[in-house]
A and B are shown apart, each in its own frame.
Chain A
Amino acid sequence: MKKDKAVVLVVEDNTIIRMGAVDLVLAAGYEALEACDADEAIRILEARSDIDLVFTDVQMPGTMDGIKLSHYIRNRWPPVKLIVASGAAILEESSLPSGSRFFPKPYDEHAITDAMARLLASETPAGTAG
């Protein structure tokens, strides 16, 4: 069963940046969920089975950073698409799960929405979810 809107989970500890990211997701026509760290993100992913994409920061307080979180998500919920953004030095996409995208901060919003659209349009390796 296809839903009308893709669901994007924003994981970011900075309130203003999270607001901006949620706003950007909504403006792109998706449904937005938000978490301020990896633990909250995992709780949301466990509670909802309709999340299509996770857009996460790297440096966050809590048990996992965004890179660990992205690997955790890929292992537990393989179909979920991943976009990672960080203000830390240029990160190799190779340190992320295959198929995920990395953007340095400050990211260009068009580049992010463009990446979201492409990832959401692509087939998932583990079959289509939802």
Chain B
Amino acid sequence: MPQTSTIHYEAASTLAVVVSSNEPLLLLSEDQKVVAASASFCRAFDIDPSTVTGRGLGEIGDGEWDMPRLASLLRATASGSARIEAYEIDLLRPSRKTRNLVVNARTLDDGDIDRIRLLLAVTDVTDARAETRLKDDLIRDKAILLQEVQHRVANSLQIIASVLMQSARRVQSDEARGHLHNAHHRVMSIAALQRQLSTSSGGRVELRAYFTQLCQSLGASMISDPDRLSIAVQVDDSVVEPDFSVSLGLIVTELVINALKHAFPDDRMGTIVIGYRSSGDDWTLSITDDGIGMPAGTDAPKAGLGTGIVEALARNLQGEIRLSDAGPGTAVTISHRQGAGLPTDVSKAA
């Protein structure tokens, strides 16, 4: 069949649709001659539009479209034995950067079964691929950086912990040693949170896992006989913001240290229970021991730094501290009720 005659069969509207396509598009005859090329194709691949029509696909431009793989796929498509869907191919041009292409080809179904037309759509994905690669690299870099930061934080906390413990082993006074140990516990409390954050996603903290780790750490350093004293964690499924968990963790640390020091004298056996439950914006934290109970009156110990820390943090969280007799033992409850005691509560002020 002479080529020139096939070209003249095309409906003007078909050619117009192809030429005006936004997506780079070629309309090919069965023997892979260009019937029409979209302006976008010529622009994207730097081909003079006036030189395209009637030429073989392998001849347009500088012959860079002469790709045996593509030609054989187009042959298979024309014979109806295959369809090219999102086939990836590289366009190689001398002294120019290789472009990554995604091609789709199908026969044009226009009701004329004797005359086969191929529609070849070519998308240049080089820039999109480069962007994806860049994004992947950035995500990977960020993960590595985050790991590095976490590693550094852990190492820094280890340095502080090491120095505090070395001091504690050297000082002569029991009181000074006690203070150094307390400082060490506070550092370890922050470290437990740090560890929890490094394993959590989205920077939120699962309180039960955090408190469990915290109490393991406190128990390991303060309880010499685990058969005598234990710490239990009874926490619901609350997941909270890191800032909030730091405050809760420090409160738990102070109150557990306090209970371990004062509630179980003379090798008394016992358990400390950390409780936390929340409902909506309301929450309750409790530290309960079954020890000897709080001494009252003149026997009451002078409020130390620990008490100050607990009071300040509870106030900051708009929580109310309640001390009660757990019979036996002591329960410290810090609870927050939405709206209670807030400055916005103007009914009482009026």
Contact = CB atoms under 8 A, between A and B. Distances in A.
Interface of A: 14, 16-17, 19-21, 23-24, 27, 59, 86-90, 104-111, 114
A88 B147 contact: yes
Contacts of A90: 195, 198-199
Given A17-B158, A19-B166, A87-B158, A108 B150 contact: no
Interface string B147-163: 10011111101111111
A104 B195 contact: yes
B322 interface: no
B154 A16 contact: no
Contacts of A111: 220-221
Contacts of A89: 147, 150-151, 198-199
B161 A106 contact: yes
B310 to A, nearest CB: 23
A118 B253 CA distance: 28
B165 A24 contact: yes
Contact of B151 (A27, A88, A108, A110): A88
B220 A110 contact: yes
11 contacts: A14-B155, A14-B158, A17-B162, A20-B165, A87-B154, A87-B158, A106-B158, A106-B161, A106-B162, A109-B165, A110-B220
B118 interface: no
Given A20-B166, A24-B165, A109-B221, A104 B188 contact: no
Contacts of B153: 87
Contacts of B199: 89-90
Contacts of A19: 162, 166
A78 to B, nearest CB: 29
Contacts of A88: 147, 150-151, 154
Contacts of B155: 14, 17, 87, 105
Interface residues of B, number: 26
Contacts of B217: 108
Q: Which of A90, A109, A111 has the most CB of B within 10 A?
A: A109
B7 interface: no
Contacts of A87: 150-155, 158
B162 A108 contact: no
Contacts of A59: 151
B169 interface: yes
B221 A23 contact: no
Contacts of A105: 154-155, 157-158
B73 interface: no
B17 to A, nearest CB: 57
A20 B154 contact: no
B202 to A, nearest CB: 16
A86 B153 CA distance: 11
Nearest to B152: A87
A24 B169 CA distance: 9
A88 B154 CA distance: 8
Nearest first, the 10 A-B pairs at minimum CB distance are A20-B162, A87-B154, A106-B158, A105-B158, A106-B161, A87-B155, A106-B157, A105-B154, A87-B151, A108-B220
Contact of B159 (A17, A27, A104, A109): A17
A106 B163 contact: no
Contacts of B220: 108, 110-111, 114
Contacts of A20: 158-159, 161-163, 165-166
B231 interface: no
Given A16-B159, A23-B166, A89-B198, A108 B187 contact: no
Nearest to A59: B151
Contact of B169 (A23, A106, A108, A114): A23
Interface centre among A21, A23, A27, A107 (most CB of B within 10 A): A107
Given A17-B162, A104-B154, 15 more contacts: A14-B158, A20-B159, A21-B162, A23-B162, A86-B151, A87-B153, A87-B154, A88-B151, A88-B154, A89-B151, A89-B198, A104-B195, A106-B157, A106-B158, A106-B187
Given A89-B150, A89-B199, A90-B199, A107 B165 contact: no
Interface centre among B158, B160, B166, B198 (most CB of A within 10 A): B158
